[in-house]
Amino acid sequence: MECHIQIFLDNTWVDCAAITVQTLGKNPAIGSAVFEYDLDYAFDAKSQPVSLAYPVDAVRHVLDEWPAFLYDLIPQGNGRKYLLSQLKIADGPSADFPLICAGAFNPIGRIRVREATEYFFQHIDRHDPQGMDQGFTLEDILEKSETFIERMLVHGMLAAGTTGVQGAAPKYLLTKDIRGLWHADGAVPDESAAEHFIVKLPRGKAEADRKLLRNEAAYMRVAKALGIRTYGTVAHHDDMLFVPRFDRIVQFGKVSRLHQESAASIAGVVGFDARPTQFDLLSALRHVVANKTAETIEFLKRDVLNIAMRNTDNHARNTAVQIVEGAIQLTPLFDFAPMYMDPEGISRAARWYHPETGRELTQWADVIQCLNFESDESIAIVKALRDFGAALLELNAHMEAAGVDRDVIEYLQMPIAVQTRQLMELEV
């Protein structure tokens, strides 16, 4: 089985690489794969990598497993369910490659799969395209009007949840045009686009699902107030969360698509079941980011907040890097919410397991000691974390101002106190 990767460069999509996979049994991850850049692309001075793990070269990479970045492109959640029904195939690892070839037509970032784009246009051709460029209002979205649902189904295959972004919650990828009207992402040309959004819906129909989504908007305001890297303003309207996309930049009538890649891909994690440690992820990230110290501090602060505010959904694809003006850095924070209240019960996935003993470390002093950085860097990191501990003294006030629910604030008092104390007791 083969698929072809395209990348968005100089305002156009370009064929750049091919991947051939051979599956063994029911788990394709144990099958071999061949990854190679197109030769013309490899020798083009303007070429850019599809993954930071695979710099552009003319080498034929014969691999024992799939390239890890492929798993950033596989539809999950409602988008996966929708495509499985369209393809009439059973779920499981053996469905991953067909899902890539049908669903990776508009993923987050700047790469896509050519076969998925062809499948998408075949889907469009089966429907009447009349009125697809007219757009719809915010009221149409909030009311889930018949016009909105129909156009999302026809143009974006999004009525049951987008295929282009991962995660369990139903989502839409929407573009707001220069007239202020909304479209399924890809239904409006780049020169007419003004803003791009991920619109999240509650994961289920329970009150806890709606409460969780409402508080996610407040959590993002808290993170911004504490100096965590964020982007734009996350807005909550009628059980919908409007999240500005930071993988796209609109300037002068053009849309730039930024390289975005998960920490799981950077760390070479194949499949969805593996659980790398926080040490594994941080080590992999430090190998690619431009400013190791600054990004390490950002990574650690985010984990402090995850623990303090009980965002238990910290799997390796909820952390990512992007390339901004040639520099590699952590993306703005995303999927930051009080996931402890999720009805399905989500446990913390990535933990600080000691690299040698395998024992979980729960004290930041022990984590810092195991990181074993050079003295100057360790001092800078400890000072930054101590300052962050002092900032956490104002966390209750920030939560109040951001609109976090009162019962959530009360529930968080103990983990906040523990994290604050640990950070402020760190010794240089």
pLDDT-derived band at 161, boundaries 50, 70, 90:
very low
The DSSP-derived string for 61-103 is EEESS--GGGGGTS--HHHHHHHHHHHT---SGGGHHHHHHHH
255 beta partners: 250
pLDDT-derived band at 168, boundaries 50, 70, 90:
low
What is the share, in percent, of the chain residues with pLDDT greater than 70? 92
56/38 Cα distance (integer angstroms)? 10
Per-residue pLDDT tens for 208-252? 889 999 999 999 999 999 999 999 999 999 889 999 999 999 998
- 259 Cβ partners below 8 Å, 6+ apart? 48, 49, 52, 109, 110, 322, 323
Specify the pLDDT at position 128: 60
364/370 Cα distance (integer angstroms)? 10
Mean of per-residue pLDDT scores for the chain: 90
78/72 Cα distance (integer angstroms)? 16
Specify the pLDDT at position 160: 36
Q: Which of 68, 64, 92 is nearest to 80 (CA)?
A: 92
Per-residue pLDDT tens for 36-53? 999 999 999 999 999 999
382/369 Cα distance (integer angstroms)? 10
- 229 Cβ partners below 8 Å, 6+ apart? 298, 330, 331, 332, 333
**Considering only the top CATH level, what class is 257-424?**
mainly alpha
Specify the pLDDT at position 272: 83
Q: What is the 3-state secondary structure (H, E, C) of 48-63?
A: CCCECCECCCCCCEEE
For residue 162, pLDDT beyond 60: no
Specify the pLDDT at position 158: 40
Helix 413-424 × helix 364-371 angle, to 10°: 50
Per-residue pLDDT tens for 296-343? 999 999 999 999 999 999 999 999 999 999 999 999 999 999 999 988
Q: Where in the chain is the domain with CATH 1.10.1070.20?
A: 257-424
What is the share, in percent, of the chain residues with pLDDT greater than 90? 71
pTM of this structure: 0.93
